[in-house]
Amino acid sequence: VAAFGGIDVLVNNAGLGYFATFEESNRDQVRYMMDVNVWGLVDMTRAVLPIMRKQNHGVIVNFSSIGGLYSFPTLSFYHATKYAVEGLSESLAREVAKKGIKVLLIEPSGFRTDWAGRSSQKDLPTIADYAEYKEFIEANANGAHHEAGDPKKAAEIIYQQVTDNYADLPLRLPPGKISSDLAIEKYQENLDQFKQLRELSLSADQPE
């Protein structure tokens, strides 16, 4: 603020992963991940939000994940952090919309960063009933830096959206084919199920 007179964009990009079955997850690792993925984002946003409100403009870019929409085994607590980011971002977007502030959720799938490599802790299953998931965890570790997603292209898309598409900025952006496919699949499955349960859902209300 001292150097430029304001803050136009906040990018909450910090995040890490943790692979382990729900039952075998280490509580300390989970808490640390929650601190980084959720509370780090929260603290940065709360520090910048008063400045953006005073300006009556600004963009908050929150890095979620396709894991904020679609869940895989051995990532239950990672998903919990990203579902949290999704929920708080959607609510925040509604609260600040009339102040000219936009929120953009980025929901990538596998990109060639270090997320599946050294930036994620991995605890392999030791309970025999979960042995099948060892291969899944190892495959993710071995696939680091070989994913389909190109971080530079994603960054260019985000920059373009924030700078050139401010008026029509979407709330959610799932970069990459895998992310787009899974997002559509998840919402379509949910929509189909909600429709199937429509009459049952309505039956829970008091009669008019």
pLDDT of residue 151: 85
Angle formed by the axes of helices 76-96 and 41-55, nearest 10°: 10
Q: Kindly tell me if the per-residue pLDDT of 4 is higher than 70.
A: yes
CATH of the domain at 95: 3.40.50.720
* Residue 36 covered by a domain: yes
More confident residue, 208 or 24: 24
Any domain includes 68: yes
Q: Does residue 63 sit within a domain?
A: yes
For residue 14, being part of any structural domain is answered with yes
pLDDT above 70 covers a percentage of the chain that reads 90
C-alpha span between 21 and 45 (Å, rounded):
31
Does 1 reside within a domain?
no
Between the CA of residue 40 and those of 3, 23, 66, 155, what are the distances in Å?
A: 24, 26, 19, 21
Lowest mean pLDDT among 1-5, 72-76, 115-119: 115-119
**pLDDT band, very low/low/confident/very high, at 117 (cuts 50, 70, 90):** low
Provide the pairing of β-strand 9-12 with 101-106: unpaired
Give 59's pLDDT tier (boundaries 50, 70, 90): very high
Q: Which residues contact 19 (CB under 8 A, 6 or more apart)?
A: 74, 75, 78, 120, 121, 122, 123, 137, 140, 141
Q: What average pLDDT does this structure show over 60-69? A: 94
Of the ranges 39-53, 81-95, 165-179, 183-197, which one carries the lowest mean pLDDT score?
165-179
- 81: nearest Cα among 19, 24, 23, 35: 35
Taking 3-state DSSP, the helix, strand and coil percentages for the chain, each rounded to the nearest 5, stand at 55, 10, 35
Residues 68 and 83: beta-carbon distance below 8 Å: yes
Please tell me the distance from the alpha carbon of residue 87 to that of residue 38, in angstroms, as a whole number: 11
Decide: helix, strand or coil at residue 25. coil
What band does 143 get if pLDDT is binned at 50, 70 and 90?
Answer: low
- Look at residue 62 in the predicted model and tell me its pLDDT: 97
What local confidence, expressed as pLDDT, does residue 111 receive? Answer: 56
Segment 65-79 shows an average pLDDT of 93
Residue 42 covered by a domain: yes
Residue 77 domain-assigned (yes or no): yes
Residue 59 backbone zone (phi > 0: left; psi -120 to 50: alpha; other: beta): beta
Structural domain count of the chain: 1
Q: Looking at the predicted structure, is the pLDDT value of residue 114 above 90?
A: no
- Per-residue pLDDT tens digits for 31-40: 999 999 999 9
| Integer Cα distance of 73 and 20 in angstroms | 8
Domain span at residue 175?
9-202
Catalytic residues: 64, 78, 82
Residue 4 falls inside a structural domain: no
Q: What DSSP assignment string belongs to 74-85? A: T-HHHHHHHHHH
Mean pLDDT of 115-126: 76
